[in-house]
Amino acid sequence: MALLDPVSRNYGRLKNYVNGEWVESASDKVLDVRDPATTDAIAQVPLSTKDETRAAIDLAQDAWWSWRETAPGDRARCFFRLKTIMEREYENIARVISQEQGKTIDDARGETRRCIDNIDTAAGITTLQMGYNLEDGAASNIDEEVIVSPLGVFAAVCPFNFPGMVPFWFWPYAVATGNMFIVKPSEQVPITTQYMFKLIDQAGFPPGVINLVNGREDAVNTFFDHKDVRGISFVGSTPVAKWIYKTAGETGKRVQAQGGAKNSLIVMPDAVLDKTVNNMLASFYGCAGQRCLAGSNMIAIGDVAEPLLKKWLEASKNLKVGCGLDESSQMGPVISAAAKQKVLGYIQKGVDEGAKLLLDGRNIKVPGYEKGHFIGPTVFDNVTPDMAIAKEEIFGPVVCFHRMKNLDEAIEFIHKSPFGNASSIYTQNGRAARDFRYKTQCGNIGINVGIAAAMAYFPFAGYKESFFGDLHGQGKDAIQFFTDKKIVITRWF
């Protein structure tokens, strides 16, 4: 066992970071933050009040014009400094993520890299935010240009599965373009954001530019109620994403709301089976299945079903489940007792629906972590499209194995899902891959890749009920989301 030391065993009562200062919340509502592997309380997070949230927004708005007037090159320098600090702190960040979220340390290191990737990308703001112009664009001697301008204060409401990365899909682009930002982390995993803000504090962003408000519904409602919040970025479940989208419409705010998923991975008869199985392990079991890009339905086409299933079961049985900070663990726990109960409920539902439970992860025991929220790899065979386990988001390490005749049948099944976040195909046939890419209505397509996760310089979001909004997170989409275009038509007499 290669068990790594956590950065701390208890992070105490967490604070808000507002206007460049660490502020204790006066809220009497405080939750324990628990390590999902041990269930030990490792921090206490206050649920900030509406007044505290409002004050953070007011202070950000007051400081906005000064940041808006800061030259993009100077803004970029804050990001370069932050990058240097984050590279230095890389391993500590990863350990905090692993400890509070439960994911394996390698997963957490990969997540940390994605945070830094977004800083790298946002640091290129001097070119990303450029407008464009056309001499004589309006008429002879009358020029026309587009200026890309910031809007003011934005906020993000973040999920529990990527405590590091998700805020970084948004705030670097908002801040780099000259906006102010408030991050509200998930109350289940607020420590990573707290840790990140200690680094942000060192990077020299002016007070008020980037703020942290811990909390839950009172903070979120205040974002909507406050006239100065110009837009909201959200990642979470589909019901909440829908509510966020609707409420943003009613309150006149920009919105990008990423919801749930039910992703299918198709294995064609000509797939390179060993590599396919190995790659799919990361998709179905990485982050204990709690990725919005995680595989959930595995669809075997034709006669690949039996050899695939045999290899899959063997690999699944050999997967080492354990504490994320144990470097040899290949899968960690799910986030909470409630999350575990939900997944166990789906496993029972699958049994009740008549699917064949080939591998049952319900009673797994992890030595030394008996109280942890672990679920072992679970595999259902004979899953049919009408079953709840085939249609609904389970968000756990549960594989629903389907057998289908051909690619068209598989694509039709994918299209019947209300979700459209991701899907993948494993094949050596370019034509099949091309058809799949062309026809499949999902926001992220993998070809021999089980987690089609967009890098920082590409946009990330799904289709259908996996995303509500227009402009995606990250990359150029993020620049557009956080800015408006101003047309200037100029004539000199």
Partner 1 sequence: MIQSEFPECTTFGTLMRFALELERVAALVNEELASDPSCAAGAETFKALAANHRARVALLEETRREKLNEAVLEPISDIRSADYVVATDVPNGAGVKDSAMFAAKVEETSARFYTDSARIAKSILHGAVRIFERMAKENLSNKAKLEAL
By annotation, the residues acting in catalysis are 292
Distance of CA 279 to the CA centre of its chain: 20
Question: In the set 36, 46, 102, 110, which binds partner 1 (CB under 8 A)?
Answer: 110
90 part of the interface to partner 1, by CB under 8 A: yes
Q: How far is the CB of 10 from partner 1 (least distance, A)?
A: 25
Residues that bind partner 1 (rule: CB under 8 A) add up to a total of 32
Question: In the set 9, 246, 275, 485, which binds partner 1 (CB under 8 A)?
Answer: 275
Q: Would you say 105 or 268 has its CB closer to partner 1?
A: 105
485 part of the interface to partner 1, by CB under 8 A: no
The total of other beta-carbon atoms located within 10 Å of residue 426's CB is 28
106 part of the interface to partner 1, by CB under 8 A: yes
Q: Which residues contact 404 (CB under 8 A, 6 or more apart)?
A: 299, 300, 301, 410, 413
CA gyration radius for the chain?
A: 23
- Taking CB under 8 A as the criterion, which residues in 299-328 touch partner 1? 315, 318-320, 327-328
Q: How far is the CB of 165 from partner 1 (least distance, A)?
A: 10
Site string for partner 1, 420-459 (x = CB under 8 A): -----------------------------x-xxx------
Site string for partner 1, 283-302 (x = CB under 8 A): ---x----------------
- Region near partner 1 per CB under 8 A, out of 109-117, 200-208, 246-254, 263-271: 109-117
133 part of the interface to partner 1, by CB under 8 A: no
Q: Would you say 1 or 26 has its CB closer to partner 1?
A: 1
Question: In the set 35, 52, 100, 111, which binds partner 1 (CB under 8 A)?
Answer: 111
The total of other beta-carbon atoms located within 10 Å of residue 311's CB is 16
Separation of alpha carbons 69 and 363, rounded Å: 59
Q: Which residues bind partner 1 (CB under 8 A)?
A: 1-2, 87, 90-91, 104-107, 109-111, 113-114, 275, 278-279, 281-282, 286, 315, 318-320, 327-330, 449, 451-453
